[in-house]
Amino acid sequence: MTALLSRRFWSRYGLLVIGGTIVGVMSVAALLAPWITPYDPTALNVDVLLQPPSAAHLLGTDALGRDVFARMLFGARVSLWVGFVAVGLSVAIGLALGLAAGYFGGLVDEIIMRGVDIMLCFPSFFLILAVIAFLEPSLLNIMVIIGLTSWMGVARLVRAETLSLRSRDFVDAARLAGAGPVRIICLHILPNAVGPVLVSATLGVAGAILVESSLSFLGLGVQPPMPSWGNMLMEGKDVLEIAPWLSIFPGLAILVTVLGYNLLGESLRDLFDPRLKR
């Protein structure tokens, strides 16, 4: 019986546990980075240039003698910070526009959705590159630009949910009781649309981390000496043949973190959508 329950549990919640564990471990490691490693991620040490992984330096050192493990931990802070802030901004914009379009309909819906269509005409990454080209590359600019160019999916999702919810009996009852549009949206529609938005936000964090890493790899994102997994990959490509660990470890970190958020998002989608429950 225990084996059956265990098998059923892992069949239904296994990916959620794996994804949540990866995300949790990465988040805790980033939060406790100053206490996990004694090394300064930006401190140069010419005595230990390009040292392979050892007891003193768990993941080796780079071409400037900086500890790779310390840079990985502090780079996780940058990647997760970008993911959370960018997704928070995109969700806030998408929620506001999606709720307005779905609830009010008519001209409001037409204007908002045509704006969404126009934004979707531009490839997101190239739009971000175009904007970055006119601005100074910085962590704040990256977070804001990713957030301002990734809200369209959330807006369409929330609009669809709102269109479904606005004709429900509890919304009609609130309207008959004299509740205004703002009260109905905030107290009755928004709480019932949070589930799909949470799934979208979780998957969006993975996408934001990939975008930030790509921009940093191209030299348009987080600028040295601040560590980022993307600029660590950029620095490692020049010495790939003699120091492969400089590219392997940041690449694995990006892979595992994005995989964790994707697994978590897919599992949450299965939980929130009754039609997908096994």
Q: What is the pTM assigned to this prediction?
A: 0.88
Q: Name the residue type at position 61.
A: T
Task: Look at residue 9 in the predicted model and tell me its pLDDT.
Answer: 67
Domain total in the chain:
1
**Residue 273 amino acid letter:** D
2-10: long-range contacts at Cβ-Cβ below 8 A with a sequence spacing of 24 or more?
none
Q: How far apart are CA 271 and CA 267, in angstroms?
A: 6
- The domain that contains 26 carries what CATH number? 1.10.3720.10
249 CB-side CA count, 13 A: 24
Q: Which two tokens stand for residue 243?
A: 């120091």
In contact, 41 and 72? CB cutoff 8 Å: no
Mean pLDDT by 10 residues, the chain (278 residues): 60 82 91 90 86 88 90 90 91 92 88 89 80 78 87 90 84 80 84 84 90 87 86 87 89 93 86 58
- Residue numbers of the domain that contains 79: 2-276
Contact 71, 228 (CB under 8 A): no
Which residue in 69, 261, 103 sits closest to 179, CA to CA? 103
Task: Look up residue 42 and give its amino acid.
Answer: T
Task: Output the pLDDT for position 249.
Answer: 92
Phi/psi for 98 (5° steps) reads -65, -40
pLDDT at 92: 93
Tokens of 272: 């929130």
